[in-house]
Amino acid sequence: MTGPAAALRAVHDEGAAPLPQPRGPLSAAVLDALRRPPGGTVRWPEVPRDDPFGEDVQLALHLCYEPHYRGLRGVAPSWEWDPGLLLLRGRLEQVFLDGLRAHVPGGADVAAELDELLVEPPGGAGLSRRLAEEGEWWQMREYLVHRSVYHHKEADPHVWVVPRLHGRAKASLVAVEYDEFGGGRADRVHARLYVDLLAGAGLETGYLHYLDAAPAPAIAVVNMMSLFGLHRGLRGALVGHFAAAETTTPPSARRMVRALERMGAHPDCVFFYSEHIEADAVHEQVMRRDVVGGLLESDPHLAPDIVLGIQATGLLEDRLSRHIGSAWDEDRSSLRTPLPR
């Protein structure tokens, strides 16, 4: 193809994600549809309600969301608002949201949920502690690949909540986002810093390059943010998730710095996490006092949704940690496509 149409497609493909391999009938159907011009009638497979966190459901949902971000390579931009794709996305979202609600206790005590995030077992918990104390370099590189699905679009899903807030909550959340996007400096945008980290670790830096290697638990964390961000009715859940992320990052980032320094990692790897220690410690206070507090003052009925966002974040992060940890316990790769050791 030549001429203006080809140029337009080239512009739209710039920085877009590569199309992944399917993981079942749902993701295969979405990929098949996206390779064609939008607008036709597609008979979508049934969405299984008994596997909301499974590989096929999570990849299919990710493919439905990606046109709202940087797009998919070779896929027409107009797929973003194609009614047929939105119909499937709605079905996938309902199954996913029902699954999240079914696997968390719920409640409306936001303060108690946030307080609980500040309590860690002695020495810390999770994969960051394991990596800091005994992790090997091959395990660190795998962990960085898992996290690339999120960090390539770090802070992007949170922007969608901005026009859905007002007053103190809105102004304060924008202040946090300003820092996440580098304070106006392109080289300090956190997603850019992660690209530098990947390069420093000898990994591929392309946008969503490792999507095929990432298992469903890694994709589900990002799908949760997209789900909460794209629905005004879930704005409280998005704020809850953001508050949970900012609260739990500083202690884990300290352990990641310790792990990377122990392994002799490139300074760009260390810098990504050291940047998050001080910044997110401040953000945690702003999120709790001004964003969550401001939202509850204006919309107290959103307390259960804020709790949902906090608990769902913990649920999916725990699922990812268990997936990775159980593989490492057996000295095998936690990725769908292992890296060379």
Q: How far is CA 121 from the centre of its chain?
A: 25
Q: What pLDDT, in 10s, does the model give residues 229-246?
A: 999 999 999 999 999 999
Closest CA to 194 of 178, 175, 207: 207
Please tell me the pTM assigned to this model.
0.94
**pLDDT 10s per residue in the chain (341 long)?**
344 344 344 335 668 999 999 999 999 999 999 999 998 888 999 999 999 999 999 999 999 999 999 999 999 999 999 999 999 999 999 999 999 999 999 999 999 999 999 887 665 568 999 999 999 999 999 999 999 999 999 999 999 999 999 999 999 999 999 999 999 999 999 999 999 999 999 999 999 999 999 999 999 999 999 999 999 999 999 999 999 999 988 899 999 999 999 999 999 999 999 998 877 678 889 999 999 999 999 999 999 999 999 999 999 999 999 999 999 999 999 999 999 98
DSSP states of 197-243 as a string? HHHHTT---STTTTTTTS-HHHHHHHHHHHHHHT-GGGHHHHHHHHH
CA dist 341 and 338 (Å) reads 8
Do 23 and 44 touch, CB atoms closer than 8 A? Answer: no
